[in-house]
Amino acid sequence: MLRTVRDLFRYNLEFALGAILILIVFAFAAASFFSPYSPMDIYVVAPDVPPSWAYPFGTNSRGQDVFWQLTVAIRNSLLFGISVALMSRVLSLLIGLVAGYAGGITDRILMTINDTFVVIPLFPILVLFFFMMRDNMSWPMLAIAMASLGWPYDARLIRSVALSLRTREFTAMSVFSGMSTRQILVEEHLPYVLPIVFSTTLNNMNWSIGLEVTLSVIGFTNIETPTIGTMIYWANQHTAMVAGVWWWILFPVVLVIMTFLGLYLLSVSMNEYIDPRSRLTRMGGQA
Amino acid sequence: MRTYALYLVRRFAQFLLVVFIGINIAYLITHLTPVDPVEQAISSVTMFGQSSPEMVEVMRKTLRELYGLEGSPWEQYVSFWRRMATGDFGPSLSAFPTPVSTLIWQALPWTLGLLVSSTLIAWIVGNFLGGLAGYYRKNSLLKALGILAMSLQPIPYYIVAFILLVVFGYLWPVLPISGGAEMNIDRQGFAFAASIVRHSILPVLSLVLVGLGAWFIGMRSLVSNIVTEDYVTYAELGGVDRRRILFSYVMRNALSPQLTGLALSLGAIFNGAIITEFVFGYPGVGTLLVRAVNSGDYSLVLGITSVSIIAVATAILVIDIIYPLLDPRVARS
């Protein structure tokens, strides 16, 4: 495992870049535990101070230190992404594995539902959800809502792997040796699917953080919880761009782009690592 | 012909299922959440005072009927569907008594225009450049484009829209950054059309920039796989014109998976269009949706959600109908 990571780091530029970006972002999030201010407090420092040695990212119009505010915000955004990704992984694994293994009518039904979920426009539905919840809208609620909508694409991927596993000999062996379906899926098939699960987790995190930012920017989430999206929301509310408080928006935007790019590069290099054909091309062979 | 008909029937069934499941999700959200839309609507009206208890009672009764909250759960469900099927979303609360459907009809052309033009531009440009990049792998300019496309791809619409807004709104103000067209202009003729185009440049550009990357990368990898196929090598050895190989042999075969992708991406592009509209104050469905939420307009929010589900499903159905005409293998499989 460690050796794989070291090799990837050395020979795969995307992986190295992605890993560095993500490490910076995580270090930033970890710094939030040393924050001298409570993230919810406002007017703890002088407002609208441009970046300086005392305040490296400046302070915002609400009297918060942008640097420390950002550390908490990125931590919450990451946590959000991770929880959505983990929850939706359970659904996509369950549906993908079962559909691939069972085949026939079960597969047909599950995949029809799956395709339906792929094309339904999520944004209006999430807005409707926010609209109904309003003041009861909490962070875990949104995560659950997104997780229950964010599984279908990856379920299809997992199913395609499960389909090929089903026809392999070791599956037939397991069936003849009397393993139950659950045992076969969990003990035999799951390990083969895990690499894909890992790379789709990264994509799913990107997707959910992006959607959360988008919703927050128009104020359609719990705006009191500091996330990257709500930071931009408050900056917009105080017309930070027009007022010339550019650092209030610039630093969250830069950090969130770093996050997206890092996760994306990691998942791309992960996919490439999983797919041996592209690894051969990289090494100079003919695919 | 028979296989095509069969294919059409299957696709249509899928279309109905998408609409059915989508609207059921909307129903579940509105009926399972602890919030009562009627009480919410009433509290937002009574907030401004001047309403006697009798008036509130009358309003409550009308609204309950309107929202189908009368009777047993099953009766509610049936009446909900009956209203959805006839496209009756009731009157808008914030623009009373204009019906919700009228508001949506007014906003829909703007959104459609934005979506169709940006989707087509992104798809065509992305596939063309991606195809070139896959074929001429040594070209450094195309390589740089690949890196650019890759780094643009994971960035959400909002950020790109925002950057464009800052660049063209404050740093170099040459383009209108808000609205769909000039306000004080005759609503017809060439000047109006030109104004619409000018106002759409930035929103379309932001959608295209984000959308482009995925097509570029997808096409590039498809083409670089096809290039290694025997028939391409054979054509190259046979001295067929390189350009002809690229366009008629390679790209043509790579296009059909990209067309499926087009259908799949529509839902996502639609989400992007909504947020883009909000950023640029474009008079489409997105802006309408945000305004509806902010003014507590339940019927309008529900109406837009349902219409957007139907619109996306229809668009995908149309693409699926065209699809087998380009690639006959699809209908048979």
State the smallest CA–CA distance between residue A176 and chain B in angstroms: 32
pLDDT higher than threshold 80 for residue A234: yes
Tens digit of pLDDT for each residue in B163-192?
888 788 777 877 777 776 766 666 677 777
Nearest to B289 among A119, A127, A206 (CB): A127
Q: What confidence score (pLDDT) does residue A100 get?
A: 87
Cα first-last separation, chain B:
14
- Helices (H) and strands (E) counted in chain B, each on its own, are 14, 0
Q: How far is it, in rounded angstroms, from Cα B237 to Cα A190?
A: 46
Q: What confidence score (pLDDT) does residue B182 get?
A: 66
Phi-psi domain of A284 (left: phi exceeds 0; alpha: psi -120 through 50; beta: other) = left
Q: What confidence score (pLDDT) does residue A23 get?
A: 93
User: Residues B160, B164, B167, B173: what is their CA dihedral angle, to the nearest 10 degrees?
Assistant: -170
Contacts of A206 in chain B (CB under 8 A): 154
Between vectors from CA B289 to CA A133 and to CA B69, what angle results, nearest 5°?
Answer: 50
The count of CB pairs under 8 A between chains A and B is 125
Q: Do B35 and A125 touch (CB under 8 A)?
A: no
List, in order, residues 6 or more apart from B116 with CB less than 8 Å away.
none
Q: How far is it, in rounded angstroms, from Cα A50 to Cα A47?
A: 9
Q: How far is it, in rounded angstroms, from Cα A23 to Cα A10?
A: 16
pLDDT higher than threshold 90 for residue A85: yes
**Which residue of B lies nearest to A217 if distances are taken between CA atoms?**
B158
Residue A11's closest CA among A231, A286, A279?
A: A279
Write out the two tokens for A199: 């790379």
C-beta of residue A244 within 8 angstroms of C-beta of residue A49: no
Nearest to B316 among A119, A257, A265 (CB): A119
Tens digit of pLDDT for each residue in A15-25?
888 899 999 99
Q: Could you tell me the sign of the dihedral formed by the alpha carbons of B64, B66, B70, B74, in that order?
A: negative
Secondary structure E strands in B149-260: none
Contacts of A128 in chain B (CB under 8 A): 26, 29-30, 301-302, 305
Q: What confidence score (pLDDT) does residue B183 get?
A: 64
C-beta of residue B223 within 8 angstroms of C-beta of residue B254: yes
Q: Do B270 and A121 touch (CB under 8 A)?
A: yes
pLDDT higher than threshold 60 for residue B49: no
Q: What confidence score (pLDDT) does residue A286 get?
A: 44
**Between B90 and B121, the higher pLDDT residue:** B121
Quickly state the pLDDT bin for A282 (edges 50, 70, 90).
low
Burial class (CB in 10 A: 0-12, 13-18, 19+), B244: exposed
**Between A158 and A270, the higher pLDDT residue:** A158
Q: What confidence score (pLDDT) does residue A287 get?
A: 37
Q: Do B270 and A129 touch (CB under 8 A)?
A: no
Cα A121–chain centre separation: 19
Burial class (CB in 10 A: 0-12, 13-18, 19+), B237: exposed
Q: Where are the alpha helices (DSSP H) in chain A?
A: 2-11, 13-31, 66-102, 104-119, 122-133, 139-149, 152-166, 169-176, 181-183, 190-217, 228-237, 240-243, 247-274, 276-282
Contacts of A113 in chain B (CB under 8 A): 21
Q: Which residues on chain A place their C-beta less than 8 Å from a C-beta of chain B?
A: 112-113, 115-125, 127-134, 136, 206, 210-211, 213-214, 217-218, 220, 232, 241, 249, 253, 256-257, 260-261, 263-265, 268, 286-287
Q: What confidence score (pLDDT) does residue A27 get?
A: 92
C-beta of residue B123 within 8 angstroms of C-beta of residue B261: no
Q: Do B17 and A112 touch (CB under 8 A)?
A: yes
Q: How far is it, in rounded angstroms, from Cα B312 to Cα B269?
A: 10
Tens digit of pLDDT for each residue in B17-37?
888 998 888 888 887 777 676
Q: Could you tell me the sign of the dihedral formed by the alpha carbons of A184, A186, A189, A191, in that order?
A: negative
Q: At what angle do helices A190-217 and A228-237 cross, to 10 degrees?
A: 10
List, in order, residues 6 or more apart from B95 with CB less than 8 Å away.
B103, B297
Q: At what angle do helices A104-119 and A66-102 cross, to 10 degrees?
A: 150
C-beta of residue B101 within 8 angstroms of C-beta of residue B86: no
Nearest to A241 among B170, B298, B316 (CB): B170
Tens digit of pLDDT for each residue in A95-150?
999 998 888 888 888 988 888 888 888 888 999 888 888 777 888 889 999 999 88
Residue for token pair 């089903």: A166
Quickly state the pLDDT bin for A44 (edges 50, 70, 90).
confident
Nearest to A119 among B155, B264, B301 (CB): B264
Tens digit of pLDDT for each residue in B294-325?
887 788 888 888 888 888 888 888 888 887 77
Taking residue B195's Cβ as centre, other Cβ atoms within 10 Å add up to 18
Half-sphere exposure of B190 (CA within 13 A, CB side): 0
C-beta of residue A78 within 8 angstroms of C-beta of residue A29: yes
Taking residue B42's Cβ as centre, other Cβ atoms within 10 Å add up to 18
Q: What confidence score (pLDDT) does residue A278 get?
A: 59
Q: How far is it, in rounded angstroms, from Cα A190 to Cα A55?
A: 49
Q: What confidence score (pLDDT) does residue A168 get?
A: 83
pLDDT higher than threshold 80 for residue B59: no
Strand pairing partners for A59?
A65
